[in-house]
């Protein structure tokens, strides 16, 4: 796993050993950022269920102002910290060692907002659907804003927060990137 493009191109990122984790593949990550193109420039990027920090680090490399990582698994947190240090981007990142729902509740109270939110929950659990219906999700996404969900192709996204409209879906092997927009 590596940083594909931008200022940090070529950096090799670590993954936790011996723990179940499915980081976003380089192929899916490259496709995601080709779709996003210049819209990542200068944004506050939120990486929910961060895993290794792979996607948020790529966002920084491609010009995001700041990446926010939310992860609750202790071993994954140590990998994210190590990857941030390896890339020398600590001042452009914030790491929240929280469950995603807890983070959403706290983000509302802190009045945090993000232009792009990337959600990559465990493939074989139902957490994505729960998070997508949380009212806080619609409130922390700026207007206009973009929510992207990476999910298993056999687990379609059935419902989302009512303030979001569904855009395109792109399939890459077993992964689907589903795009949702807030605003026009």
Q: What is the pLDDT of residue 18?
A: 60
For residue range 50-106, list pLDDT tens digits in order. 999 999 999 999 999 999 999 999 889 999 999 999 999 999 999 999 999 999 999
Element (H, E) at 56: helix 54-61
Element (H, E) at 34: helix 26-36
Q: How many domains does the chain have?
A: 1
Asked if residue 19 belongs to a domain, the reply is no
Contact 57, 92 (CB under 8 A): no
Asked if residue 7 belongs to a domain, the reply is no
For residue range 94-151, list pLDDT tens digits in order. 999 999 999 999 999 999 999 999 998 876 666 777 888 888 988 999 999 999 999 8
Kindly give the pairing relationship between strand 164-172 and strand 141-152. unpaired
Asked if residue 89 belongs to a domain, the reply is yes
Beta bridge partners of 66: 44
Q: What is the CATH number of the domain that holds 51?
A: 3.40.50.150
Asked if residue 12 belongs to a domain, the reply is no
| pLDDT tier at 26, thresholds 50, 70, 90 | confident
Phi/psi at 143 (5° precision): -115, 110
Q: How far apart are CA 13 and CA 52, in angstroms?
A: 8
pTM (2 decimals)?
A: 0.93
Contact 38, 111 (CB under 8 A): no
Domain span at residue 62 reads: 26-182
For the cut 70, the answer to whether the pLDDT of residue 153 exceeds it is: yes
Asked if residue 35 belongs to a domain, the reply is yes
Asked if residue 127 belongs to a domain, the reply is yes
Asked if residue 167 belongs to a domain, the reply is yes
Asked if residue 10 belongs to a domain, the reply is no
């Amino acid at each position: 796993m590596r940083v594909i493009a931008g200022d940090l191109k070529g950096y090799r990122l670590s993954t936790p050993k011996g723990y179940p984790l499915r980081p976003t593949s380089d192929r899916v990550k490259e496709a995601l950022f080709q779709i996003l193109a210049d819209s990542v420039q200068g944004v506050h990027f939120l990486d929910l269920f961060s895993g290794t920090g792979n996607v948020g680090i790529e966002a920084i490399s491609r010009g995001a102002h700041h990446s926010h990582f939310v992860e609750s698994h202790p071993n994954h947190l140590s990998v994210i910290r190590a990857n941030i240090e390896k890339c020398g981007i600590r001042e452009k990142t914030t790491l929240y060692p929280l469950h995603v729902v807890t983070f959403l509740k706290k983000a509302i109270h802190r009045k945090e907002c993000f232009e792009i939110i990337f959600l990559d929950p465990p493939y074989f659990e139902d957490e994505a659907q729960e998070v997508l219906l949380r009212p806080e999700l619609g409130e922390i996404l700026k207007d206009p804003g973009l929510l992207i969900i990476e999910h298993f192709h056999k687990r379609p996204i059935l419902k989302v927060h009512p303030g979001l409209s569904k855009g395109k879906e792109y399939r890459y092997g077993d992964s689907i990137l589903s795009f949702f927009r807030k605003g026009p």
